[in-house]
Structure 1
Amino acid sequence: MGAWSAEPFGNDTAADWAYELEGQTDWNVVRDALRVAADTEGSQLDSDAATVAIAAAEVVARGLGRVPGRAFSDAVTAFVARASAPSAELVSLADAAVVHATSDDGELAELWEDDPDWHAENERLRAALTTV
């Protein structure tokens, strides 16, 4: 994974996945990415699937209006403008996916273990998803 930032879309894998949102008007692509992570124990989740799940959760948080548009994600901004607000069920799925994707015993966490920015970004994302 080529990464230039600890932000959810600051890497090649997430940036490539974002193009799947082009032309979409519903949350199915996002839901599918989240389910992969939410349905897999963190220790069994490969780093690419975990990266995509974090990016998908970021899309949900943006859909809620809780995270401003950021660099590297024009496709996400356009998708959020087209799609309806995410359901409470999707928000819950996003939070579960982030928990699994960032699991301490997971492959992705091992790659980022010494980067406090990555941990801070994931805490920010979880806070955006769990704010009432």
Structure 2
Amino acid sequence: MGTWSAEPFGNDSAADWAYELDEAKDWGVVSDALRVAAEAAPSELDSDDAVLAIAAAEVVARGLGRVADSAESVEAFVARVSPPSPELVALAVSALAVAASDEGELADLWEGDPDWLAENEKLRAALTTG
């Protein structure tokens, strides 16, 4: 995975996944990415799936209007779909908790990087502050 920043879309996997939003007409592609993480044990979640879950959680936060700067694909997607449901927000919170867990492969790759930890906390706050 090529990574250039600790932000949710600061890596190749998430940036590539964002293009799936170009064709999406509803929250299904986002929900699918979140569900993979939310239904996994942190120690069993592949780092690529964790990256996608974090990016999907960012899309939900953007859909709530709580994240300012997003990728073009995210902005266009959020503009054409309805706001995320409370159930989707709850799924995003759960998926983020698993994807960013200290027990997970992705956290091992980041080795406690303070920027990565801060980005995940900022995203968690955006999803839970209402």
Task: Sort the TM-score into its range (normalised by shorter chain).
Answer: over 0.9
Structure 2 spans left out of the alignment, 5+ residues: none
Q: In the alignment, residue 86 of structure 2 is paired with which amino acid?
A: A
TM-score after normalising by structure 1: 0.96
Look up the match of 2:37: 37
> 1:21 and 2:21 equivalent?
yes
Q: Report the alpha carbon displacement of residue 39 of structure 1 after superposing the two structures with TM.
A: 0.1
Once the two structures are superposed, the pairs formed by residues 38-57 of structure 1 within 5 Å of their partners are 38-57=38-57
How many residue pairs get aligned? The number is 130
Aligned counterparts of 1:114 and 1:43: Cα–Cα separation in 2: 16
Structure-1 separation of matches of 2:103 and 2:129:
26
Partner AA of 1:127 in structure 2? A
AA matched with 1:64: L
Partner of 1:107: 105
Residue 129 (structure 1) aligns with: 127
* Inter-partner Cα distance in structure 2 for 1:23 and 1:31: 15
User: 1:107 offset after TM fit, Å?
Assistant: 0.3
* Cα displacement (A) at 1:78: 0.7
Where does structure 1 lack aligned partners over 5 or more consecutive residues?
Answer: none
Structure-2 separation of matches of 1:52 and 1:46: 10
Show the 5 A alignment for 1:24-103: 24-70=24-70, 73-103=71-101
Cα deviation for residue 64 of structure 1 reads 0.1
> Runs of at least 4 residues of structure 1 off by over 3 A?
none
The Cα shift of 1:118 comes to 0.3
The amino acid of 2:9's aligned partner reads: F
Q: 1:114 offset after TM fit, Å? A: 3.5
Distance between the aligned counterparts of 1:117 and 1:41, measured in 2?
24
Query: RMSD of the alignment, in Å?
Result: 0.7
TM-score normalised to structure 2 length: 0.98
- List per-residue Cα deviations over 1:8-48 (Å, max 9, x = no partner): 00000000100111121210000000000000011000000
